[in-house]
Structure 1
Amino acid sequence: MDWKDWHDEYDLPGSWMARRLRVVRQQIRAVLDDGKPGPLRVISLCAGQGRDLLGVLADHPRRDDVLARLVELNERNAMLADDAARAAGLSGVEVVTADASVTDHYAGMAPADLVLVCGVFGNITDADIRRTVGFCAQLCAAGGTVVWTRHREEPDLVPVICAWFEDSGFERRWLSAPDAGFGVGVHRFTGQPRELARGERMFTFVGYDVLSNAKPDQT
């Protein structure tokens, strides 16, 4: 899978990826609009080219309040995200080229006011989704928000993911309609964040192409 070329579908008007991106940006904008005064910390796992967050920050009134860390393993995508942040004058945005599944890369930024887990849950096993949801309680500040995505193909895991978040101290704030063609969820953390465990791997990025060909007992 060429993950740089994969992003090209975002540029196709009407594609499911373009429509999902618009929705994710709307939810990010809403979180920033309602954010507490002062600095706002943002973490993005498997950030890709940063189109979701950077597309909002470019013209948002709170842009200079945001301290963000985007973690992306693909070097070309990370470079494009960094170039976009610099071109927009977003000095508070840091792009780290690294394995987004390792907790160490969020030290000093967690707990964050906004955690983006977009494009992740469709590319990892169900067990790792649940594990990652549990780690969100370490990544997210009290009152902070997680915006996440997952496809709604059968078996539709979105309702189960919502339940996992809610069992982990989050409350559901918003969920896209079942017939939207994609799943976008927004959960607010109502508990107290636990200390970030260092040296832990939250998930293994498998890829949706591999998962779609796997037997049920392999996911």
Structure 2
Amino acid sequence: MDHTAPDRHWVRWHRQYDVEGSSLRRRLALVQRRVGQALDAQPAGEIRVLSMCAGQGRDLLGVLPGHPRRGDVRATLVELDADLAAEATHVARAAGLDGVRVVVGDAADAGLYNYVAPVHLALVCGVFGNLSDTDVQRTVEQLPRLCQPGATVIWTRHRRSPDLTPRVRGWFADAGFDEVGFDVEDGYLIGVGTHRLAGPALPYQPDAHLFDFVGDGGDGHR
């Protein structure tokens, strides 16, 4: 998750992943299930993956080591916090995932995905809860520039009132995506969307700025 370098808030915040029953841990399980399904569905050959605001990389790295397509994955994980990025790098190297590249940088900078774009799988998890509505829409509209035809996008957003997720799902439809599923869990405000690009991919624009990260992330994973 992105933050300013002196603030250790994000490192402490990511520890919620290890708390049994936490909303973040439950959201992670939903995301990882969808990641596994997306990898299963890929045809033979290279699988290109990007992860925005990747944190410790758990969305992908929690699935990939035991997945039969692990050797086909070429991924870029972008995370602004150097400590979290170092943890992701350590996990990837320890698992022998040589195709995983962790970049310390601003995930809003489309140029940081030049190693893998256009991708077969894009992870936009823990992002939309920390953007203005306008920037959420703009990011969705820009995703066809990062994706190959038929690519899968997995995203998250809390459903706290006023719930933006119905509008986000509509923006994906407007951008040429078909909805694969929208996962929620009773008693929690988490929402996990999975969409597949049915419309045409757009030209990659490495100079694009996707969004401005706002807030402290407190609502990002409810």
Cα offset, 1:177, TM superposition:
3.2
Cα offset, 1:202, TM superposition:
0.5
Aligned counterparts, 1:40-189, within 5 A: 40-177=47-184, 179=186, 181=188, 182-189=190-197
Task: Kindly indicate whether residue 202 of structure 2 is the aligned counterpart of residue 194 of structure 1.
Answer: yes
Pair 107,24 (structure 1): closer, same or farther in 2 beyond 3 Å: same
Match of 1:216 in 2: none
Q: Structure 1, residues 17-56: CA drift from partner, whole Å, max 9, x if none?
A: 1000001000000001111111100000111110110000
Percentage of pairs with the same residue = 48
Pair 151,210 (structure 1): closer, same or farther in 2 beyond 3 Å: closer
CA contact (8 A) 1:43 1:68 kept: yes
1:90 aligned counterpart, secondary structure: coil
1:155 aligned counterpart, secondary structure: coil
CA contact (8 A) 1:152 1:178 kept: no
Normalised TM-score (structure 2) = 0.92
The residue identity in structure 2 corresponding to 1:50 is G
Pair 209,50 (structure 1): closer, same or farther in 2 beyond 3 Å: closer
Normalised TM-score (structure 1) = 0.93
Match of 1:37 in 2: 44
RMSD: 1.5
Task: Work out the CA distance in 2 between the residues paired with 1:49 and 1:115.
Answer: 16
Cα offset, 1:208, TM superposition:
4.6
Cα offset, 1:140, TM superposition:
1.2
5+ residue gaps, structure 1, are 213-219
Cα offset, 1:209, TM superposition:
5.1
CA contact (8 A) 2:158 2:219 kept: no
1:95 aligned counterpart, secondary structure: strand
1:185 aligned counterpart, secondary structure: strand
Runs of 4+ in 1 over 4 A off after TM superposition: 208-212
Cα offset, 1:207, TM superposition:
2.6
Match of 1:215 in 2: none
5+ residue gaps, structure 2, are 1-6
Cα offset, 1:198, TM superposition:
2.5
Task: Work out the CA distance in 2 between the residues paired with 1:137 and 1:149.
Answer: 18
Q: How many residues align?
A: 212
